[in-house]
């Protein structure tokens, strides 16, 4: 029943675009503040704490690890809590409180323990915003629109993740700590206002049932069923086996841990594991560019932090423009084409990044233009791989949820799923710089990109066999063998 006593501004506060914008700002703020502080940490340790020069690098690495570790540890518990509460808004606000406390401690901290606590709180906030925020998106737009929404959000927030370290360095050089943390405070203020105002769809329909735009994920067909209905294939003649639901049913007699957290059983599904691999590799690629592009620009062209930052524009613009288009393609054509094409496309574009190091261009200016062009080509690939992992993981878990009524609780397992996704993505952000930095120092930038390209190629192959289910050609081959 709808009620006349509804909150002020209910319609616009529960508007789909406002909810999406709130989550996008939350994700952007988290990644931006993470990257903004990174180039400032060495100066904080040297000037505030008084650490000797030979200990600064190890403490910087430790502070970065504290962030990633807190995010990894907290992601799954946050997902469990979010799925067992009536509203996702409260944990979403708690995440912001942790980020606010972290920023204050970083801006005022005068000793190592304070900075460690700040980074742990920052990692905790990241776990909350990624886990609860993505669950709110699914609640709001439904599975059939998840691809284009995630693609749009990732194209925006990834720009912040890539540009923040450079901007932090420039601000520190021009304005000192005041400029760095002043910008952070402004973003936090905007984030706070939007999170306070937002009203979830499932809360809004208690007051006005007409505000229900997206159904509960349980009320939707699978992505294969939605695609079949669009293409004129009857649900009575599915391309998947008729006993598909049985394939996703959780058998009786599971141990106590699985009974309490049934999403753990879903982790036995190869599709879900490969979907998480996609998220891991995507994060590692983003972090690889973040870690190596400034240093390579300095080596090749003697660029300072400002000029190196401008190189990120070449990488970011295609990402920003094509992310929504790539997400729409995932919604329309499925996750397999985007995952296979995207990761396969990145193989040659990553290898071609070796050309500027070879100095095949006749002049320094032409070499810079060549490097920018190659970065733009890589930006296209990053846009294509932006949404398949989350959409695929959501689809697989939706099948388990529908095949096992009541097992996953009233709100389903979706926040828990995004908790695992946050864990994997954070691990990728940690692994990327370690791998790329080690390889660059040991075998050089050119050969490093060959290794990274090989990882992308392997991911494309695994995507072909697992993402979106078995390839149709293999299904036809298996049916042909059964008919003989």
> 114: domain CATH number?
1.20.1250.20
Q: In whole angstroms, what is the distance from residue 156 CA to residue 162 CA?
A: 10
Range of the domain at 52: 1-211
- Please name which of 156, 428, 430, 420 lies closest in space to residue 282, comparing C-alpha atoms: 428
Q: In whole angstroms, what is the distance from residue 277 CA to residue 427 CA?
A: 11
Tell me, yes or no, whether 129 and 269 share the same domain: no
**Reduced to 3 states, what is the DSSP secondary structure of residue 186?**
helix
pTM above 0.75, yes or no: yes
Tell me, yes or no, whether 388 and 293 share the same domain: yes
Rounded alpha-carbon distances, angstroms, from residue 372 to 241, 318, 320 = 48, 12, 16
Q: In whole angstroms, what is the distance from residue 219 CA to residue 142 CA?
A: 9
Please name the residue ranges forming H helices in 385-413.
388-403
Asked if residue 245 belongs to a domain, the reply is: no
Q: In whole angstroms, what is the distance from residue 397 CA to residue 242 CA?
A: 19
Asked if residue 352 belongs to a domain, the reply is: yes
Question: Contact 200/87 with Cβ under 8 angstroms?
Answer: yes
Task: Identify the domain boundary among 211, 246, 281.
Answer: 211
Question: Contact 375/314 with Cβ under 8 angstroms?
Answer: yes
Asked if residue 1 belongs to a domain, the reply is: yes
Tell me, yes or no, whether 49 and 136 share the same domain: yes
Tell me, yes or no, whether 306 and 401 share the same domain: yes
Tell me, yes or no, whether 171 and 265 share the same domain: no
Identify the pLDDT of residue 459.
97
Asked if residue 410 belongs to a domain, the reply is: yes
Task: Identify the domain boundary among 191, 211, 231.
Answer: 211
Dihedral sign for Cα atoms in the order 127, 128, 129, 133:
positive
- Please name which of 404, 401, 397 lies closest in space to residue 418, comparing C-alpha atoms: 397
pLDDT values of the chain reduced to their tens digit, one per residue, 484 residues: 445 567 788 888 888 888 888 888 888 888 788 777 766 777 788 888 888 877 775 677 677 778 877 888 888 888 888 777 767 778 888 888 888 888 888 888 888 888 889 888 988 888 888 888 888 887 788 777 777 787 778 777 766 766 777 777 778 778 887 888 888 888 888 888 988 888 887 777 777 766 665 555 555 555 555 555 444 544 334 444 455 677 888 888 888 888 888 888 888 899 999 999 999 999 889 888 877 887 788 788 887 766 776 787 888 888 778 888 888 888 888 899 999 999 999 999 999 999 988 878 788 889 999 999 999 999 999 989 988 998 899 899 888 888 888 888 777 788 888 888 888 988 887 788 888 888 888 888 889 999 999 999 999 999 999 998 877 766 565 555 555 5
Asked if residue 241 belongs to a domain, the reply is: no
Tell me, yes or no, whether 383 and 474 share the same domain: yes
Count of residues making up the chain: 484
- Virtual CA dihedral for 270, 413, 66, 104, nearest 10 degrees? 150
DSSP letters spanning 299-360: HHH---HHHHHHHHHHHHHHHHHHHHHHHHHHHHH-HHHHHHHHHHHHHHHHHGGGHHHHT-
Task: Identify the domain boundary among 149, 179, 211.
Answer: 211
Asked if residue 355 belongs to a domain, the reply is: yes
By the 10 Å C-beta count (0-12 exposed, 13-18 middle, 19+ buried), 101 is classed as middle
Rounded alpha-carbon distances, angstroms, from residue 60 to 38, 116, 229 = 8, 10, 53
Tell me, yes or no, whether 176 and 301 share the same domain: no
Tell me, yes or no, whether 185 and 292 share the same domain: no
Asked if residue 242 belongs to a domain, the reply is: no
Q: In whole angstroms, what is the distance from residue 14 CA to residue 73 CA?
A: 32
- Please name which of 175, 195, 199 lies closest in space to residue 187, comparing C-alpha atoms: 195
Tell me, yes or no, whether 202 and 59 share the same domain: yes
Question: Contact 376/315 with Cβ under 8 angstroms?
Answer: yes
Identify the pLDDT of residue 237.
40
Question: Contact 40/168 with Cβ under 8 angstroms?
Answer: yes
Question: Contact 345/381 with Cβ under 8 angstroms?
Answer: yes
Q: In whole angstroms, what is the distance from residue 385 CA to residue 189 CA?
A: 31
H or E segment and range at residue 373: helix 364-384
Domain count, the chain: 2
| Residue carrying the six token digits 């994997």 | 424
Asked if residue 250 belongs to a domain, the reply is: no
Tell me, yes or no, whether 174 and 283 share the same domain: no
Identify the pLDDT of residue 404.
86
User: What pLDDT digit, counting tens, does each position of 111-141 carry?
Assistant: 888 888 988 898 888 888 888 888 888 778 8
H or E segment and range at residue 276: helix 270-301
Q: In whole angstroms, what is the distance from residue 470 CA to residue 473 CA?
A: 8
Tell me, yes or no, whether 138 and 266 share the same domain: no
Tell me, yes or no, whether 277 and 350 share the same domain: yes
């Amino acid at each position: 029943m709808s009620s006349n006593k509804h909150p002020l501004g209910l319609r616009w506060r529960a508007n789909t675009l406002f909810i999406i914008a709130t989550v996008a700002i939350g994700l952007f703020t988290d990644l931006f503040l993470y990257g903004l502080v990174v180039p400032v940490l060495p100066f904080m340790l040297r000037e505030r704490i008084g650490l000797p020069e030979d200990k600064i690098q190890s403490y910087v690495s430790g502070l970065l690890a504290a962030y990633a570790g807190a995010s990894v540890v907290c992601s799954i518990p946050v997902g469990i809590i979010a799925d067992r509460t009536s509203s996702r808004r409260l944990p979403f606000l708690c995440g912001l409180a942790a980020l606010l406390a972290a920023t204050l401690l970083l801006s005022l901290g005068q000793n190592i323990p304070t900075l460690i606590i700040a980074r742990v709180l920052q990692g905790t906030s990241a776990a909350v915003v990624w886990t609860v925020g993505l669950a709110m998106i699914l609640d709001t737009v439904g599975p059939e629109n998840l691809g284009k929404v995630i693609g749009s959000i990732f194209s925006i927030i990834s720009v912040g993740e890539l540009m923040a370290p450079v901007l932090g360095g420039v601000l520190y050089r021009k304005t000192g700590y005041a400029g760095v943390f002043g910008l952070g405070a402004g973003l936090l203020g905007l984030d706070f206002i939007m999170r306070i105002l937002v009203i979830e769809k499932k809360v809004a329909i208690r007051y006005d049932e007409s505000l229900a735009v997206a159904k509960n994920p349980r009320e939707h067909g699978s992505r294969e069923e939605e695609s079949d209905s669009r293409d004129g294939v009857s649900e009575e003649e599915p391309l998947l086996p008729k006993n598909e639901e049985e394939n996703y049913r959780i058998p009786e007699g599971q141990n106590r841990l699985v009974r309490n957290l049934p999403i753990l059983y879903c982790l036995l599904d190869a599709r879900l594991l490969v979907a998480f691999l996609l998220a891991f590799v995507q994060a590692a690629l983003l972090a690889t560019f973040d870690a190596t592009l400034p240093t390579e620009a300095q080596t090749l062209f003697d660029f300072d932090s400002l000029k190196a930052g401008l190189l990120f524009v070449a990488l970011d613009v295609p990402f920003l423009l094509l992310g929504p288009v790539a997400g729409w393609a995932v919604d329309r054509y499925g996750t397999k084409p985007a995952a296979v094409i995207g990761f396969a496309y990145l193989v040659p574009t990553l290898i071609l990044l070796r050309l500027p190091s070879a100095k095949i261009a006749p002049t320094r200016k032409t070499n810079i233009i060549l490097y920018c062009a190659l970065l733009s080509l890589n930006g296209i690939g990053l846009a294509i791989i932006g949404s398949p992992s989350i959409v695929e993981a959501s689809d697989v878990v939706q099948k388990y949820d529908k095949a096992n009524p009541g097992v996953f609780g009233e709100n389903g397992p979706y926040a828990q799923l995004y908790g695992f996704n946050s864990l994997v993505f954070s691990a990728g952000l940690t692994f990327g710089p370690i791998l790329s930095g080690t390889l660059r120092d040991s075998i050089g930038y050119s050969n490093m990109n060959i290794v990274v390209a090989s990882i992308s190629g392997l991911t494309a192959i695994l995507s072909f066999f697992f993402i979106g289910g078995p390839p149709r050609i293999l299904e036809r081959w298996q049916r042909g063998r059964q008919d003989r």
